[in-house]
Homo-oligomer: A and B are copies of this chain.
Amino acid sequence: MDATAHLHLSHLIYSDWTLIESEFNPTQLHYKETVFTIGNGYLGTRGSFEEGYPGARNSTLIAGVYDAVPVVYTELANCPDWLGLIITIDEERFRLDQGEILSYERSLDLYQGLLSRQVCWRSPSGKILELDFERLASLADPHVLALRCRLTAINFDAPVTIQAPLSGYIDNQGYSHWQWIDQGYSSDNPHIWLHLRTRASAIELGMACSLNVLEWGAERVPHQESQSEYINLLNYPALQTRVNLIAGQPVTLEKRVTVYTSRDVANPHEVAFSKLDELPSYNELKTAHKKAWADVWTNSDIIIEGDIQAQFAVRYNLFQLLISASQDDDQVSIPAKTLSGFGYRGHVFWDTEIFILPFLTFTQPTIARNLLSYRYHTLNGARRKAKSENYKGAMFPWESADTGDEVTPRWAISGNHYDPDTRIWCRDREIHISADIAYGIWHYWQATGDDQWMRDYGAEVILDSAVFWGCRVEWNSREERYEIRHVIGADEYHEQVDNNAFTNRMIQWHLEKALTVYQWLQENHPVRADELAVLLKLTRERFARWQDVINNLYFPFDATTGLIEQYQGFFELEDINLAAYEPRSLSMQVILGIEGANQRQVLKQPDVLMLLYLMRKRGEFPYNKTVLQTNWDYYAPRTDITYGSSLGPAIHAILAADLGETELAYHYFRQAALVDLEDLRGNAHEGIHGACAGGLWQSVVFGFGGVQLTNSGPVATPNLPSHWTRLKFKLHWQGQWHEFDLRPLSSEQIGGVIFDLDGVLTDTAEYHYRGWQKLADEEGIPFDRQKNDLLRGLPRRESLLAILGDCTVTEDQLQEMMERKNRYYVQLIEEITPADLLPGVNELLEELQQKEIKIAIASASKNAQTVIERLGIGHLIDVICDGYSVQRSKPAPDLFLYAACQLDLTPDQCIVVEDAASGIDAASLAGMLTVGLGPVERLGKANLVLPNLENVHWADLIAGLSPKAKANQWNLPVAIS
């Protein structure tokens, strides 16, 4: 990415499904641990090495296993490390920080969910060893983890000691959450187990592990020499085996691990233990695992052709989301950094409902439902938060963990002795989260039609947080309006603002939906409606108050300009020119300071634009394209999209695509797609940017795919980046799968080109002008070239009426004048010769004929036939449609549809070349691709605008029209579980 200073040589090779790291660079240790994270929704394990590495940040995070920690209240506890495989030849331990790496390749196969590594290593004493690792976190059975290593001695025979430990000594950036309870060994079917408990939350964890040594190629046949021995170090049990390695004779080590917590079962260590006993072989585990992945990809995959890095990056981000989302636990949600790192401590933000959820709502609706049920299950925490601030109802926490209580730290504690600590105000002020959750619920309901869940879970969340909004708004009696003061909006560079447009509109929207939901309940589920009325104290007066708030909540919108003020007073801040700070590699908040950013018109992330995006889906207020363009022009240049929030780029990509700026959209898309893979922001080591990954899916489907959610389901109006040759994905909507297979224009698709005549092939317009001029002169009507320009594309009658203006004439006079002018014109065009062909026309027509592309002329002129003959191109034209062909003239599509029909082509097989705006409109209405010749001001609506046809070849037309791909869309029946 050229836009970033964090560029480094990542040694990554992208293929469609597989990422290959071709070289080991210790300075990238932690970022690559994040990149090579695997998981199964139950847990995530960072891509640390089996043999360890100094300073490595091994982590296995299990969804929902939180434990108390100072300052930030609670965090996902790093669980015992199951990766360890220690291989010692004589007294030399295999380790990449010593000896020499002769070859190295690490690869992540997204389709199979497998992480593997091939290393050829020379020990300090010169022994050369080949190691071939592979690991998986089973998607078929999330309590099963497995890894395998094939060892081959290259130039030595020697005894090798292999240890497979379970390490209870594991910490979160130094903080260790586990207390040892017990450990043990069973010699029957040799395995060890470890039983721990979190310090404060008292969640118990049981892990068991076996180690098998197999002759290469043998399956479940133990290696003769090997015999498992128990190393009983406290909190660090290990199985140890010795084999004599013979040069060239590979040996395979298999470590299989089971893990349960007391969140899953009552006696996790016993269940882990007995589960291990009945576990099939590594290969069988792998087969089941691969099948599970194939099933998931069937629904969630996105195919992109023509852009291998984008193809991989999109799949990679979806993979990272899929391994963070529990298949069946509705008491957990997806943390901001997924299960892949310690950033944000495993806390859950609006990232889930606004950024990540759509991907799951539309491709894995069961998981989406679980994520929303998590908010239902944590309602009591949200109620405690509201109560702590003396509000009624449910006030969801900005950061949420196991209970729904607020876990945003109050302070960013300074490590410096004398610098002040920084108060983190989000916990107090970034209140829009409750509306974001309602937004997620509402759209899940709209997409799935899951009425039962809405009745039993969703409605209570929407309604009780609406109760909170009813208390949170303030009545300004001087202005006679409701206001919401002292908030942080979506843009976090401004920490204490009044009447933030995003917040106010989201809350208004939330209250609207709350009333709708309650009305729906009353009509369809009156018992539940009554139940909630009692539980949440929903009275007629309360509903009336909500309506009053909806009607009178202030929204800082200038209807004349269409410009929305981010919050009251934003436009009075000092303006900023971000370009003046380039090049930079720091956020504007770091550059300006918190107060400096606060005082300027600079945004960390989209705020008004975020609102416009969210309201775009159903075209709700204040969304419309003009408002979008106006606010985009104002806010986009003031947004710190590179180093502000990672939530920004994908949203900007969608809006840029909406505004037709596909290449700019692609630029933002890459910023989102590669944020972790290429560590664009230098913080990938903290874990995957989950919201960014979710936004990426939206940018592909809603941005490039141009999917709109209509009452009859999702419809694509794609805007593909120019080099994408295919975009294919599935969406689940109201119980049905909709498959979209979007391809750009290809020459094979196009069967014919329909040319306008005047101003396109020849300048007959000049002859028309001369005819009209003569007539006008005779009639004494003022007329000149400038007025003539206004007639472009108009048929004869309309042209004459335009010339006559206010002059009243009879129909007979009118007819006479048209005939007279036509007479003059026909006389004039008698003078036309092939030299009157515009530059490039002949060459293009000949090329088309050669390529067997049919050619039609569609002209409003009734003299088209004559003109074409005079031009000497009659032999190149297949069909001539003229003023006699159809009744309705352009901008009605009739003439082009007639032409297509004459060519025996469907409209989507036709390209229209026009020089008039009305012609472009007509062609668009006909469903044809359009090429406008002339100035963009006039022809901006055309799919492709060219000055003229000089040097224009068939390939240029196809390439130029490619971004406007064609959608193929199928609806498939589906069962929602």
Interface, chain A (partner B; CB < 8 A): 52, 54-55, 68-71, 73, 84, 86, 88, 91, 93, 161, 163, 165, 167, 169, 171, 174-177, 179-182, 185, 199, 230-236, 238, 384-385, 388, 405-407, 410-411, 413, 415, 417-418, 421
Whether A54 touches B86, Cβ cut-off 8 Å, given contacts A165-B233, A169-B169, A175-B175, is no
Minimum CB–CB distance from A881 to chain B (whole Å) comes to: 74
B55 A179 Cβ-Cβ under 8 A: yes
Minimum CB–CB distance from A175 to chain B (whole Å) comes to: 5
B70 A417 Cβ-Cβ under 8 A: no
A71 B71 Cβ-Cβ under 8 A: yes
Minimum CB–CB distance from A390 to chain B (whole Å) comes to: 11
The residue that A169 contacts in the complex, of B55, B236, B417, B421, with Cβ under 8 A, is B236
B384 A234 Cβ-Cβ under 8 A: no
A234: which B residues are within 8 A, CB to CB? 52, 84, 86, 165, 167
A411: which B residues are within 8 A, CB to CB? 411, 413, 421
Minimum CB–CB distance from A936 to chain B (whole Å) comes to: 57
Whether A73 touches B174, Cβ cut-off 8 Å, given contacts A232-B86, A232-B93, is no
Q: List 30 A-B contacts (CB under 8 A).
A: A54-B179, A69-B174, A70-B70, A70-B71, A70-B413, A73-B415, A86-B232, A86-B234, A91-B185, A91-B230, A93-B232, A161-B232, A163-B233, A165-B233, A169-B235, A169-B236, A171-B176, A174-B176, A174-B199, A175-B175, A231-B231, A233-B233, A236-B236, A384-B417, A388-B417, A405-B417, A406-B417, A407-B417, A410-B421, A411-B421
Minimum CB–CB distance from A400 to chain B (whole Å) comes to: 11
In the bound complex, what is the Cα–Cα distance between A238 and B237 (angstroms)?
13
A405: which B residues are within 8 A, CB to CB? 417-418
Minimum CB–CB distance from A92 to chain B (whole Å) comes to: 10
A93: which B residues are within 8 A, CB to CB? 232
Identify the 5 closest CB pairs spanning chains A and B, nearest first: A169-B169, A388-B418, A405-B417, A171-B176, A52-B234
A415: which B residues are within 8 A, CB to CB? 68, 70, 73
A163, A165, A413: residue with the most chain B Cβ atoms closer than 10 Å: A413
B174 A418 Cβ-Cβ under 8 A: no
A70, A185, A234: residue with the most chain B Cβ atoms closer than 10 Å: A234
Minimum CB–CB distance from A381 to chain B (whole Å) comes to: 8
The residue that A86 contacts in the complex, of B161, B163, B171, B233, with Cβ under 8 A, is B233
Whether A176 touches B175, Cβ cut-off 8 Å, given contacts A231-B233, A234-B52, A238-B233, is yes
In the bound complex, what is the Cα–Cα distance between A122 and B421 (angstroms)?
55
Minimum CB–CB distance from A69 to chain B (whole Å) comes to: 8
One complex includes copies of this chain to the number of 2
Minimum CB–CB distance from A163 to chain B (whole Å) comes to: 6
A169, A181, A388, A415: residue with the most chain B Cβ atoms closer than 10 Å: A169
Quick one: closest B residue to A185, CB to CB? B91
A179: which B residues are within 8 A, CB to CB? 54-55
Quick one: closest B residue to A181, CB to CB? B54
In the bound complex, what is the Cα–Cα distance between A182 and B53 (angstroms)?
10
Minimum CB–CB distance from A319 to chain B (whole Å) comes to: 29
In the bound complex, what is the Cα–Cα distance between A417 and B421 (angstroms)?
19
In the bound complex, what is the Cα–Cα distance between A235 and B165 (angstroms)?
12
A165: which B residues are within 8 A, CB to CB? 233-234
Known pairs A54-B180, A175-B176, A385-B418. 4 more at Cβ < 8 A? Answer: A70-B70, A71-B413, A88-B232, A388-B417
Quick one: closest B residue to A411, CB to CB? B411
Minimum CB–CB distance from A733 to chain B (whole Å) comes to: 39
In the bound complex, what is the Cα–Cα distance between A396 and B433 (angstroms)?
46
In the bound complex, what is the Cα–Cα distance between A874 and B154 (angstroms)?
118
In the bound complex, what is the Cα–Cα distance between A233 and B185 (angstroms)?
17
Quick one: closest B residue to A170, CB to CB? B169
Minimum CB–CB distance from A62 to chain B (whole Å) comes to: 18
Quick one: closest B residue to A200, CB to CB? B415
A163: which B residues are within 8 A, CB to CB? 232-233
A418 B384 Cβ-Cβ under 8 A: yes
B180 A177 Cβ-Cβ under 8 A: no
A68, A174, A238, A410: residue with the most chain B Cβ atoms closer than 10 Å: A174
A88: which B residues are within 8 A, CB to CB? 232
A73: which B residues are within 8 A, CB to CB? 415, 417
A180: which B residues are within 8 A, CB to CB? 54
Minimum CB–CB distance from A541 to chain B (whole Å) comes to: 29
Quick one: closest B residue to A403, CB to CB? B417
In the bound complex, what is the Cα–Cα distance between A713 and B293 (angstroms)?
87
A177, A181, A410, A418: residue with the most chain B Cβ atoms closer than 10 Å: A418
Minimum CB–CB distance from A222 to chain B (whole Å) comes to: 21
Minimum CB–CB distance from A386 to chain B (whole Å) comes to: 11
Minimum CB–CB distance from A230 to chain B (whole Å) comes to: 8
The residue that A233 contacts in the complex, of B177, B181, B236, B384, with Cβ under 8 A, is B236
Minimum CB–CB distance from A777 to chain B (whole Å) comes to: 88
In the bound complex, what is the Cα–Cα distance between A93 and B175 (angstroms)?
28
A418: which B residues are within 8 A, CB to CB? 384-385, 388, 405-406
Quick one: closest B residue to A418, CB to CB? B388
The residue that A417 contacts in the complex, of B176, B238, B385, with Cβ under 8 A, is B385
In the bound complex, what is the Cα–Cα distance between A517 and B750 (angstroms)?
101
In the bound complex, what is the Cα–Cα distance between A388 and B199 (angstroms)?
38
Minimum CB–CB distance from A176 to chain B (whole Å) comes to: 5
A235: which B residues are within 8 A, CB to CB? 169
Quick one: closest B residue to A52, CB to CB? B234
A176: which B residues are within 8 A, CB to CB? 171, 174-176
Quick one: closest B residue to A163, CB to CB? B233
In the bound complex, what is the Cα–Cα distance between A179 and B418 (angstroms)?
27
A52: which B residues are within 8 A, CB to CB? 234
Minimum CB–CB distance from A108 to chain B (whole Å) comes to: 24
In the bound complex, what is the Cα–Cα distance between A406 and B384 (angstroms)?
37
The residue that A177 contacts in the complex, of B174, B199, B385, with Cβ under 8 A, is B174
In the bound complex, what is the Cα–Cα distance between A93 and B55 (angstroms)?
32
Minimum CB–CB distance from A33 to chain B (whole Å) comes to: 15
